[in-house]
Amino acid sequence: MGMNGDQFYENMPMQLRSLKAEDIVLPSEGRSVAKMINAYYYETNILDRSGVDDTFTSALRASVYSRRRNSSSNFSFSFWINPNAPRIPLDSVLPSIQTPLLPEKPYVDLHKYYVKSTYGNDIQKLLEDETSQQFFDCSLTVKLEDGELFDIKAHRIVLSSASSYFREIFSQKKYIRNDFVADVIVLDQHEDQISFRIILLCCKVFAIKLIQFIYSGHLKLDFGDCEEFVSMVKCLDICSTANNSTFLEIDDENFRSNLILRGLNDSTCESSLDIIGENEERFRVYKPILMARCEAINVMMKNEFLEKKENQINLLDISATVLKMFLSYCFTDQIDRLIDVSELEIDHFSEALELASRFCLASFAQLIQTTLINRLTSLPDQECCVIIASQIIGLAKLFNFDCILHWCLTYLCCHKKDVWIDMLDEDTAHFIDIHCWPPEWYFDELRIYDLEMANLEKHLEKRRTKAFLRQNRDQCCLNVGHFLFNFVRFGK
């Protein structure tokens, strides 16, 4: 399928088009053409490396040297050189030998593949999504001026994650004295699944802002008495942010992460969901957060799927280690909160990438790729890293993981001598042959450069020898002259 501007770009002048491989003339081709037409071949400096002055001087010296070699001894460049000036030796105008240009080593910028985390927005969905609202199991109640009660429904696990005070209330099921909490009502007969009602001693605005801060992790202090609100948050021990100098100004990356893990294997959590992995490994997790974090699971639980009827998700081909990575991502937006990443095997990373592709979790896949790249980079055995990179390429191509694919290709291109070509498909092997670093032509140019430098050193050695002999001869003649002069003058 073409574009409207294809014809414009096709007719674009060469200097405005992007360069292709066939547009570049390598030095080897230049030497071949020079030999074919029986001409001399010289290389001048590269403009962006040496500057205009050095490039112009080198080109001028090459031109003078070539003309002097082809001209008669009486020929002079009268149009720019004084014909009466003494002849300049050819060696003095010989263009300097240029070192081969080694291209920069390929580098993969991981920031280019950065996927913005949706963790904050997903947790905030728990307040806004209708399905998540069905799992409200507690409420913050404020008494208004007219005597009526204003309820703000919430999730116990989120409040527990935000405050150790709320956690103690829910675990002990009783009121714990606090300056901003009037009472705690435990409902044995659940009203709309609400089992706890916490009566706050604050205004309606403060209660709403408190819930917004707990679910979103940030807040704009553009209301009422901010000092009183800050005191309430400190008294309720919200995220232990009282010691934070930038309190309520920036997002805390550990916000909700530590305590929200208690939603895993929490038997007190009624809105739970079972995930069964390999070898019948069972994980009981908090369903609303899992639905908010993974759209595929959200669809399963909203519609009449088998998973909704059985209230469990069977992932029998996924190991317990990978499931811990997945659940750690869902609950904390990190993959190393339940396991030690340094002890993971490469098969675990491959399995996790397959799971990320199955559930269409781009952020989860990016975390896995970044962790895997850091792991491979730290490997002391280069050959082992090459083998692993060769194995991962196929999986990266299958699921379109561009970050790890680009990194593996770049790494193999930089370590071509260690690459096992038999492990790669034809397209990958061809790509590595073309983009290998250092390129093959660089070694050819380096060999020619070393040969030229050796010849130049021999030539300079001959010149030094001749100069030394000439100096000794002149000194010898001078000594003989002094001897004859003294002999004639003094008769000695």
pLDDT at 1 exceeding the cut of 60: no
80/151 same-domain check: no
125/75 same-domain check: no
Per-residue pLDDT at 12: 58
The CATH number that applies at residue 215 is 3.30.710.10
Per-residue pLDDT at 352: 94
Instruction: Determine the Cα–Cα distance for residues 274 and 310; give it in Å rounded to an integer.
Output: 9
User: How many domains in the chain?
Assistant: 3
Q: Which residue, of 40, 63, 93, is where some domain finishes?
A: 93
Model confidence pLDDT, tens digit, residues 133-175: 778 888 889 988 877 888 888 888 888 877 888 888 888 877 8
Per-residue pLDDT at 318: 93
Per-residue pLDDT at 356: 94
Per-residue pLDDT at 3: 44
Model confidence pLDDT, tens digit, residues 79-137: 344 444 445 555 555 566 677 878 888 888 888 888 888 888 888 888 887 777 778 88
Model confidence pLDDT, tens digit, residues 473-484: 766 766 666 656
312/283 same-domain check: yes
The structure tokens listed for 217 are: 């992790």
148/236 same-domain check: yes
Chain-wide mean pLDDT for the chain? 77
277/328 same-domain check: yes
- Range name among 15-19, 43-47, 251-255 with the lowest pLDDT average: 251-255
Task: Classify residue 129: in a domain, yes or no.
Answer: yes
251/313 same-domain check: no
- Range name among 105-109, 195-199, 216-220, 400-404 with the lowest pLDDT average: 216-220
Q: In which band, very low, low, confident or very high, does the pLDDT at 373 lie, cut at 50, 70 and 90?
A: very high
Question: What integer is the mean pLDDT of 19-40?
Answer: 78
Instruction: Determine the Cα–Cα distance for residues 299 and 313; give it in Å rounded to an integer.
Output: 12
Instruction: Identify which of 37-51, 277-291, 467-481 has the greatest average pLDDT.
Output: 277-291
Per-residue pLDDT at 76: 44
More confident call, 274 vs 92: 274
254/156 same-domain check: yes
Per-residue pLDDT at 218: 72
Question: Which domain covers residue 179, as residue numbers?
Answer: 136-260
Task: Classify residue 9: in a domain, yes or no.
Answer: no
Model confidence pLDDT, tens digit, residues 308-365: 889 899 999 999 999 999 998 988 888 888 888 888 888 999 999 999 999 999 999 9
Task: Classify residue 341: in a domain, yes or no.
Answer: yes
295/365 same-domain check: yes
349/245 same-domain check: no
Task: Classify residue 125: in a domain, yes or no.
Answer: yes
Task: Classify residue 427: in a domain, yes or no.
Answer: no
pLDDT at 252 exceeding the cut of 70: no
Question: What integer is the mean pLDDT of 439-461?
Answer: 85
Per-residue pLDDT at 314: 93
Q: Which residue, of 316, 344, 375, is where some domain finishes?
A: 375
142/288 same-domain check: no
Task: Classify residue 385: in a domain, yes or no.
Answer: no
Per-residue pLDDT at 103: 84
Question: What integer is the mean pLDDT of 448-454?
Answer: 86
241/155 same-domain check: yes
Question: What integer is the mean pLDDT of 42-51?
Answer: 65
Per-residue pLDDT at 271: 75
191/226 same-domain check: yes
The structure tokens listed for 276 are: 């069964």
Q: Which residue, of 198, 228, 260, is where some domain finishes?
A: 260
Per-residue pLDDT at 410: 93
Task: Classify residue 45: in a domain, yes or no.
Answer: yes
Task: Classify residue 449: in a domain, yes or no.
Answer: no
